Amino acid sequence: MVENTQYTEDNIRSLDWKEHIRMRPGMYIGKLGDGSSPDDGIYILIKEVMDNAIDEFVMGSGKTIEVSIKDETVTVRDYGRGIPLGKVVDVVSKMNTGGKYDSKAFKKAVGLNGVGTKAVNALSTKFVVQSIRDEKTRTAEFECGNLISESSIEDSSMRKGTKVTFTPDNSIFKNYKYRGEYIVKMIKNYVYLNKGLTIIFNGDRYTSENGLKDLLMEEISEDTMQYPIIHLMDEDIEIAMTHSKTQYSEEFHSFVNGQHTTQGGTHQNAFREAVVKTIREFFGKNYEASDIRKSIVSAISIKVMEPVFESQTKTKLGSTEMGEGLSSIRVFITDFVKKHLDNFLHKNPETADALHRKIIQAERERKDLAGIQKLARERAKSVNLHNKKLRDCRVHLGDMKKDDRLNSTLFITEGDSASGSITKSRNVNTQAVFSLRGKPLNVYGKTKKIVYENEEFNLLQAALNIEDGMDNLRYNNIVIATDADVDGMHIRLLLITFFLQFFPELIKEGHLYILETPLFRVRDKNQTFYCYNETEKQAAIRKLKGKPEITRFKGLGEISPDEFKNFIGDDMRIDPVMLDKTIGIEALLEYFMGKNTPERQQFIIENLKVEMDLVDEAL
């Protein structure tokens, strides 16, 4: 029998701005996370404040921005025009309030909806904003969006600008930790897109002289470029592109008004199409689009009036028009690429020849693979992927909203017992499990053909849906979940080698992680501690009185599903797999997977000694 619930005026509730943000933070900053992923909310908070500082630079005020993080508290100081002193509180605490609604004050700004700093304010236990202008200053302090104090307007000899300090609320961002690598990448993108801008982060200075060309130089080493970077620009558009000798898939970086649109959008699609059309016309042959774009590494930045993004986090451009009186973005980009790329190729025949050779090579490889690809796809269907190898989540079974894919995770496990424990304890809405059978193949130095010939990798590629690039990646987080022993470490290395060899952008874009699971359980009748290393174990022993029971987990299969829920839930510990930009992928793979056994042995011995020293200290 259905209960007859009353629905009256008493059920209607109006939330003020800060209550709504705190109740539904995902609407404003995407997923929450703990800082292990570059798109976690704590980085979006920094970005929202930084965007305002960048907009000041774009409008011609303030060539330096200072950013510091200490004890999880962030400070951003710009030297722009400063918030009008009579509106300091309103700008950070009243919805639909801001200077960017006036196109005269902010012409091609990133944030146009007046939400950014309000979200930061509401989601911080402490938020302080200070404005300095006309030799006067005013400061306001908030807690969780509530105004605590506001100073009167006072005289000041400080340089004009705005200073914002905030500490994310750890009741919302649980166990969060800022990772400097992600912040540095964000900062580098800002300076690549704004020549003449200097950003100082914790004392380190970042600037760029060559814009998007510098960005590509970070992504690909000169010795793996098919030809020198093509770098073209005009007043409202800049592009840079080359092809990799070793990479298989496409890699695009796109930006709108200085905003990194990680999910692409209208401008990125137009650029991809324009490159294909221009190259076809230049060589006078109707090459396959996939052959032209295979191994491309490129970036595009455009500036538009009042861009329309598909979400508050501004990761995908949804607008199709550049503004009143201007042609559509698609036509604008197509015309620019057709004119300038065509001219460049005519003036640089050596680059044109190198590009042509790459296309012909891609065409030949595609035809060679055509037969085996067809067989591999049929094999994937015949083994009933979704039942035997992959335990999918509801995000991909049609039961969840598309936006929830941002929180989707695929665990790659080895062995029936480990796969069973994770499968039984996972969140079926957003967490999927892919089961390996034994150790994967070492693919170092092998061609893409091996991916289709090897059943494990063929099915894994199909599960991730990355055969044709990252655009259709089915899971935002791919987590390698193997035992913390020698065999487990070896499997991790083999899987990372697979991704580095054939899908490095999956790692570059921050999708690959290692699951940390506890090595020890320390408990008595009253308390239980799960410890991830020897130091934590010793600390737990000291906390418990008497002689506690200590269990050493030898493998993931030994951990019961009920216990596993603690390790893959809200408090899940995952370590991102990151690339050292000072070492090329080829050199990295050669060192760890090549034949230089004595060097590797020495590396292992030296690092094992460090680990043993840490254990001795703990004891």
- Segment 363-377 mean pLDDT: 83
How many angstroms separate the Cα of 45 from the Cα of each of 115, 177, 467?
11, 13, 34
Q: Which of 55, 52, 41 is nearest to 88 (CA)?
A: 52
In this prediction the pTM is 0.82
Q: Is the pLDDT of residue 411 over 70?
A: yes
Q: Is the pLDDT of residue 196 over 50?
A: yes
Report, at the CATH architecture level, how domain 17-206 is classified: 2-Layer Sandwich (3.30)
433 or 509, higher pLDDT: 433
Residue with tokens 């487990």: 488
- Segment 138-165 mean pLDDT: 95
| CA dist., res. 160 & res. 158, Å (int) | 6
- Segment 587-596 mean pLDDT: 78
> For position 11, what pLDDT does the model report?
47
Contacts of 63 (CB under 8 A, 6+ apart): 57, 79, 196, 197, 198
Confidence label for 448 from pLDDT (cuts 50, 70 and 90) = confident
- Across 93-107, 338-352, 444-458, least confident range: 93-107
Report, at the CATH architecture level, how domain 212-366 is classified: 2-Layer Sandwich (3.30)
- 379, 456 contact by CB (below 8 A): no
Q: Is the pLDDT of residue 387 over 60?
A: no
Q: Is the pLDDT of residue 383 over 80?
A: no
- 264, 247 contact by CB (below 8 A): no
> For position 187, what pLDDT does the model report?
96
Using DSSP bridges, classify how beta strands 198-201 and 161-168 pair: parallel, antiparallel or unpaired.
unpaired
To the nearest whole percent, how much of the chain has pLDDT over 70?
Answer: 86
Phi-psi group of 141: left, alpha or beta (phi > 0 → left; psi -120 to 50 → alpha; rest → beta)? beta
Q: Is the pLDDT of residue 5 over 60?
A: no
How many angstroms separate the Cα of 522 from the Cα of each of 218, 348, 360, 530, 553?
45, 68, 61, 6, 11
| CA dist., res. 211 & res. 330, Å (int) | 22
Q: pLDDT tens, 6-38?
A: 545 454 445 677 888 888 888 888 888 889 888
Which class would CATH give 383-517+557-582? alpha beta
Residue with tokens 């991909």: 396
Every domain range in the chain assigned CATH 3.30.230.10: 212-366
| CA dist., res. 287 & res. 284, Å (int) | 9
- Segment 289-301 mean pLDDT: 94
Mean pLDDT of the chain: 85
Phi-psi group of 517: left, alpha or beta (phi > 0 → left; psi -120 to 50 → alpha; rest → beta)? beta
Every domain range in the chain assigned CATH 3.30.565.10: 17-206
To 10 degrees, the CA torsion angle through 379, 382, 384, 388? -70
- Across 244-258, 263-277, 398-412, least confident range: 398-412
Strand ranges (E), 257-293: 259-260
